[in-house]
A and B are shown apart, each in its own frame.
Chain A
């Protein structure tokens, strides 16, 4: 029912912008952390996307994903380089996987599983892309540390998101207002 009428409700721009600003801030924080490969991120900026799953409508959620990619490109200065492709591929993959898992497997997994699945999807997409346009077969060399870092940070993020969702009164209020 809500899914059908969803189309006619305008996206709550201010609310999405708030979460996008949060993502922007987190990518700034993340930018300080040194990394061996430019697109190898620890994924802090995905926190708004994980939290947003429960309180955003479908349109707003994908709008947030797009805003996150370009905001991140703006902050890290990679918006006009090939690195934005990696960001785009990773975010597209993780957004889709997290969305599908949350919508259709909510009974079996919590936000921890959603977070891990999203991180793995993002990292695998980026590895495939790097194999295609950057490293060739040598991409296999960076695969294990790349995936392992993603797994660890996604577990931490997932646990945080899960406890935030349980405790936050702000979240509870937004969930009621969800269109």
Chain B
């Protein structure tokens, strides 16, 4: 840095201070950081091995993976219907009525007010109609003779408290 580049006396002080500090710090480092102190400060870090980081990365990956399934689990509840080798997905919060054809005849499913039931079916026993209304994730209705399977998937947010209440 030449004299012409300096704009004020402060620059001179700044450079002097800078030089003094760096020389001083170097001396202090040379004097005080003897072997014992040095091992004391950086030995654990230096002793880390590549496998540590591999394990760390795998662990973080496992946690991220568990978070991903966490997101799926708290999704909106939806109604899955499987009939005759095909699948349909309905929104549980939208009122609809749908008819599925099977080996025996037709089965009519109805979604109303967040609940599902089989309104009418051509099967003999009418077990599916007798099953009544289902509304919670994990519940299902099946009509075996007509090969219609209705399942609610997903989770409601209030389910979290519910699990704890029963466990404790």
Q: Do A and B bind each other?
A: yes
List chain A positions with a Cβ less than 8 A from chain B: 105, 107-110, 112-113, 116-117, 120, 124, 134-138, 140-141, 143-144, 147-148, 151, 155, 159, 162-163, 166-167
* Among listed B5-13, B55-63, B104-112, B142-150, interface-contacting one: B55-63
Q: Are B66 and A147 in contact (CB under 8 A)?
A: yes
**Least Cβ distance of B4 to chain A in Å?**
53
Q: Are B52 and A143 in contact (CB under 8 A)?
A: no
B49 CB-CB contact with A under 8 Å: yes
Contact flag A147-B39 (CB < 8 Å), given A109-B52, A113-B52:
no
Q: Are B43 and A167 in contact (CB under 8 A)?
A: yes
* Chain B interface main SS type: helix
B70 CB-CB contact with A under 8 Å: yes
Q: Are B167 and A108 in contact (CB under 8 A)?
A: no
Contact flag A112-B167 (CB < 8 Å), given A143-B66, A166-B47:
no
Looking at B47, B54, B59, B70, which has the most chain A CB atoms within 10 Å of its CB? B59
How does the 8 Å CB contact mask read for B142-163 relative to A, with 1 for contact and 0 for none? Answer: 0000000000000000011001
Task: For B159, give the chain A residue with the smallest CB separation.
Answer: A138
Given A136, A151, A162, which contacts B44 in the complex, CB threshold below 8 Å? A162
Q: Are A105 and B52 in contact (CB under 8 A)?
A: no
Find chain A residues with CB under 8 A from B67 CB: 144
Find chain B residues with CB under 8 A from A105 CB: 51
Task: For A120, give the chain B residue with the smallest CB separation.
Answer: B59
**Least Cβ distance of A125 to chain B in Å?**
13
Given contacts A108-B51, A141-B163, A144-B67, 10 further A-B contacts (CB under 8 A): A110-B47, A110-B51, A113-B56, A136-B163, A138-B163, A141-B73, A141-B74, A159-B44, A166-B47, A167-B40
Task: Give the distance in Å from the alpha carbon of A155 to the alpha carbon of B39 in the complex.
Answer: 20
